[in-house]
Amino acid sequence: MREAAPSAAIHTVFEVAEDGLVRAIETLSEEVGLSDGLETVQEGDRLFEGSPLASRIGHYASRARTLGQPLRFDRHHWSPKGLFHFEIGVWPKAEGGFSVAVSPLAGAETQLRRAALHRDIVEHANDAIMVCEGEPIDSPGPRILFVNPAFERLTGYSASEVVGCSPRLLQGPRTARAALDRVRTALREQRGVGVELLNYRKDGGVYWAELRLEPVRDEAGWLTHWIGVQRDVTARREGERWLQLLISGLDQVQKCLLLTEGEVGGEGPRIAFANATAAQVLGASEAELVGRSLATLWAPGSEAEAATLAEAMRGGAVADGAIRCRRGATGTFWLNWHLGLPIRSEAGGPPHFLLIAHDSTQERQTAAERLRTARSETLAALARGVVHNFNNKLAGVIGALSLARLKVAEGDLSMLEPLIRQADESAGEAAAVATQLQVFARGESVGRTVVPLAPLLREVVAFSLQGSSIVAEFHLDPAAPAVLAEPTSLQQCLAALAVNARQALPGPGRLIVRLEGTELAAGEAPGLAAGPYARISLQDNGTTRPHAELERLLELELPAVPDSREFGLAAASAFAREHRGSLVAQPLPERGTVFTLLLPAAPTPASAPPTPLVGGRGRILVLDDEAGLRQNFIRLAAEAGYEATAVASPGELLGLYEESLRADRRFEAVVVDLTSPGGEGGLGVLRRLLELDPQARVIVSSGYAEPPEATGAVAFLRKPYRVEDLAQVLARALQADSPSAHAVV
């Protein structure tokens, strides 16, 4: 067993058995007392347990026995008297057991060991360290006295190559002059300095160094050395450079780029980055935008759009949408946004989101113009057909009346009744067609009604294909159910599908139109309830579009549609959804497309009895600028039991009514044509009548499809009308409980 003397004067020796039991304690010096728990150890105690120091001594004893040689370690103890340094040595004995010696370290020995520790630290440091002489400051400047291995690895120079040289050998043409001037100033002022320099390696390569230079002084305060510590920050600087280049590039992107951070809930995530375009569009600087919640950008009333964006963020999928944003104090604009996939950081936490957006206000205005243009094209096709149909009905009226006049002149009255009935029926049909044309032109609505589909399909398809070389082939089941729909919208939907077929067939072609009833089971058609439906299909043999493109067209949101053809299909699809139905498109294998429209069947209406003629009594005053209509009104009113007085001008009407009030013979009702001549029109006359007599019962009459709102009239008489229509309107008007309420009935 090899033994060795301690490296310092021994203070105390513990003789210890193999199991750590203290057999004897011998104190060799009284200069420094034991501490750190050793001062309480007595014979019979166990030295290898009871404290961290005891455990360490036990570990070293075990290793010393295994290695067969003594082991030592330094121990530092802090006490109220100061810091004390000890060396503890463990010697395994041949006969068994150990000697444990505790030796205090003197000041010189402590300094040596501390210097050795410092050398180890410097040698193993990851940062490049160099020690330079304190002077001279002027050229060539302080020379290098020492460099550590990290310096050699970073610069490629060995210690022997740089010791005695100036640190300037690390500089080159791209080293910033301003940074070097800062170092030179610090050297002259003998103070520390920190800079970032572009330095050069031995092989000519460059690296960015974060340099910290500190002065070292002796006991007299004289500057003796400079210690320089370099850290390679090339990766960070390159990252910052690329980041700046990226930001500069993003600022040139002509779209708003917003990067968010934070939780989606509440007011939503905050803005972490905004490019120059976003700042310009949103009317705030980039610094003002960063840190703001996304919710502060949205205009009032945009809750639904904001909820859509928040839901897309929570779902973590790519999404698109639009939302209204604030502009200035009161202005707003539309922002179309695209949401990318969530960006997650390695540190965890809420994901970031990148919003790519642009001001779509002008686009939406342009889209609205396209919508109006496309709608006009569809309505023009319908209007041409309606006019054609109107002329056909009018031809029936004129033909029947001319034949009736001829028979009366001949004295043959046998055909008079059927001819008049034919004229009456054709006139009624012509009036319905005129109302239809008017609804198209004005975009009015007459509400949802029960609409038989077979005759409507024939008419609309015929209207839409007029002037083309397309042959329509109809397979219409007469037992197919009617639907509950707004007639004008339904006609436009069907016309859009027919016009689409016409556009797909620039030359001769065929359009197969089918109508049938069907019963859908639960879950048979996605999104549709079970029950009876009308199935309409239009199959053309024109240009075929891919199925994905057809699906996209039918899912487009109005009014932001690219062109008129796409508008028509998108509008037809929107109509189907609004009426709890569906529109699907399927390309055919070789050529052509079939569009299938499913609409819920209307409830079967109860058969209505014939409308009886309702008679009445009273004096009626009527204003109309057409002599024929005035005479016709007097005759029809007399047939219904009323005495009518007809005038041609507002002045006459107001004069007669005022005269009737003075004579206490008020007219029971006044019928005013809304298109009466004069600057004020029929509504102006109505207001003057009510000023003259708030109890006046005023009926407005017009050829328009819908009555005007808030007129103060008690009833509306739509032109043209039969005697039964006039009698019913007059009866309702005269039976109104409170004429002063002036609600249209």
Pick the range with the lowest mean pLDDT from 293-302, 362-371, 706-715. Answer: 362-371
- Identify the CATH number of the domain defined by range 253-359: 3.30.450.20
Burial class of residue 110 in the structure, from the number of CB atoms within 10 Å of its CB (0-12 exposed, 13-18 middle, 19+ buried): middle
Whether 20 has a pLDDT exceeding 80, the answer reads yes
pLDDT at 399: 65
The C-alpha atoms of residue 457 and residue 629 are separated, in whole angstroms, by 35
pLDDT at 533: 94
Residue closest to 647 by CA, chosen among 670, 624, 667 = 624
Sorted by sequence, the CB contacts under 8 Å of residue 212 that are 6+ apart come out as 192, 193, 194, 228, 229
From its phi and psi, is residue 411 left (phi > 0), alpha (psi between -120 and 50) or beta? Answer: left
Burial class of residue 400 in the structure, from the number of CB atoms within 10 Å of its CB (0-12 exposed, 13-18 middle, 19+ buried): buried
pLDDT at 605: 60
pLDDT at 667: 93
CA 18 to chain centre: 77
CATH 3.20.20.450 fits 619-741, yes or no: no
State both tokens at 478: 């007469």
**Homologous superfamily (CATH) for 12-116:** PAS domain (3.30.450.20)
Secondary structure element (H or E) that encloses residue 555, with its range: helix 547-555
Residue type, 214: E
pLDDT at 369: 60
Whether 379 has a pLDDT exceeding 60, the answer reads no
Q: Check: CB of residue 685 under 8 Å from CB of residue 699.
A: no
pLDDT at 202: 92
The C-alpha atoms of residue 61 and residue 139 are separated, in whole angstroms, by 58
What pLDDT band is residue 434 in, cutting at 50, 70 and 90?
low
β 509-520/531-540 pair status: antiparallel
Whether 550 has a pLDDT exceeding 60, the answer reads yes
Taking the domains of the chain in order of start, what are their residue ranges?
12-116, 125-237, 253-359, 373-378+440-600, 619-741
Secondary structure element (H or E) that encloses residue 619, with its range: strand 619-623
Q: What is the pLDDT of residues 464-516, one digit of tens each?
A: 887 788 889 999 998 999 998 877 788 888 888 888 888 888 778 889 999 99
What pLDDT band is residue 42 in, cutting at 50, 70 and 90?
confident
pLDDT at 620: 93
pLDDT at 5: 44
Q: What is the pLDDT of residues 173-203, one digit of tens each?
A: 999 899 899 999 998 898 999 998 899 999 9
Same fold, 125-237 and 253-359: yes
Mean pLDDT throughout 80-87? 68
Mean pLDDT throughout 288-304? 84
- Residue at token pair 């493109």: 549
Whether 75 has a pLDDT exceeding 60, the answer reads yes
β 128-133/144-147 pair status: antiparallel
pLDDT at 556: 55
Q: What is the pLDDT of residues 643-679, one digit of tens each?
A: 999 998 888 989 999 999 999 998 999 999 887 766 6
Whether 29 has a pLDDT exceeding 80, the answer reads no
Whether 564 has a pLDDT exceeding 50, the answer reads no
State both tokens at 110: 């402590």
Task: Report which of residues 363 and 272 the model is more confident about.
Answer: 272
Strands of the 353-359 sheet, one edge to the other: 270-274, 256-261, 353-359, 331-339, 319-327
The C-alpha atoms of residue 595 and residue 587 are separated, in whole angstroms, by 9
What pLDDT band is residue 560 in, cutting at 50, 70 and 90?
very low
Secondary structure element (H or E) that encloses residue 54, with its range: helix 52-67
3-state DSSP call for residue 567?
helix
Q: Check: CB of residue 472 under 8 Å from CB of residue 741.
A: no
Residue closest to 98 by CA, chosen among 21, 5, 28 = 21
3-state DSSP call for residue 156?
coil
pLDDT at 519: 93
Residue closest to 209 by CA, chosen among 178, 194, 231, 184 = 231
pLDDT at 444: 46
Longest dimension (CA), the chain: 163
pLDDT at 343: 82
Task: Report which of residues 113 and 292 the model is more confident about.
Answer: 292
Measure Cα distances from 619 to 612, 625, 643, 653, 668 in Å: 22, 20, 5, 13, 5
Q: Check: CB of residue 655 under 8 Å from CB of residue 685.
A: no
DSSP 8-state code for residue 352: B
pLDDT at 535: 95
The C-alpha atoms of residue 485 and residue 577 are separated, in whole angstroms, by 12
Whether 446 has a pLDDT exceeding 60, the answer reads no
Task: Report which of residues 445 and 320 the model is more confident about.
Answer: 320
Q: What is the pLDDT of residues 85-94, one digit of tens each?
A: 778 889 999 8
Task: Report which of residues 61 and 51 the model is more confident about.
Answer: 61
Whether 598 has a pLDDT exceeding 90, the answer reads yes
- Name the most confidently modeled range: 246-250, 305-309, 710-714: 305-309
Task: Report which of residues 736 and 503 the model is more confident about.
Answer: 503
State both tokens at 215: 């002065």
pLDDT at 745: 39
How many residues are there in the chain?
745
pLDDT at 161: 92
Task: Report which of residues 418 and 324 the model is more confident about.
Answer: 324
From its phi and psi, is residue 664 left (phi > 0), alpha (psi between -120 and 50) or beta? Answer: left
Whether 125 has a pLDDT exceeding 90, the answer reads no
Pick the range with the lowest mean pLDDT from 296-310, 552-566, 656-670, 716-730. Answer: 552-566
What helix, strand, coil percent values describe the chain, rounded to 5? 40, 25, 35
Q: What is the mean pLDDT of the chain?
A: 79
State both tokens at 649: 């001008």
Mean pLDDT throughout 378-401? 61
**Homologous superfamily (CATH) for 373-378+440-600:** Histidine kinase-like ATPase, C-terminal domain (3.30.565.10)
pLDDT at 613: 67
What pLDDT band is residue 702 in, cutting at 50, 70 and 90?
confident
- DSSP for 264-324 reads SSTT-PEEEEE-HHHHHHHTS-HHHHTT-BGGGGBPTT-HHHHHHHHHHHHHTS-EEEEEE
CATH number assigned to the domain with residue range 125-237, chosen from the 4 options 1.10.10.10, 3.40.50.10680, 3.40.50.2300, 3.30.450.20: 3.30.450.20
pLDDT at 9: 61
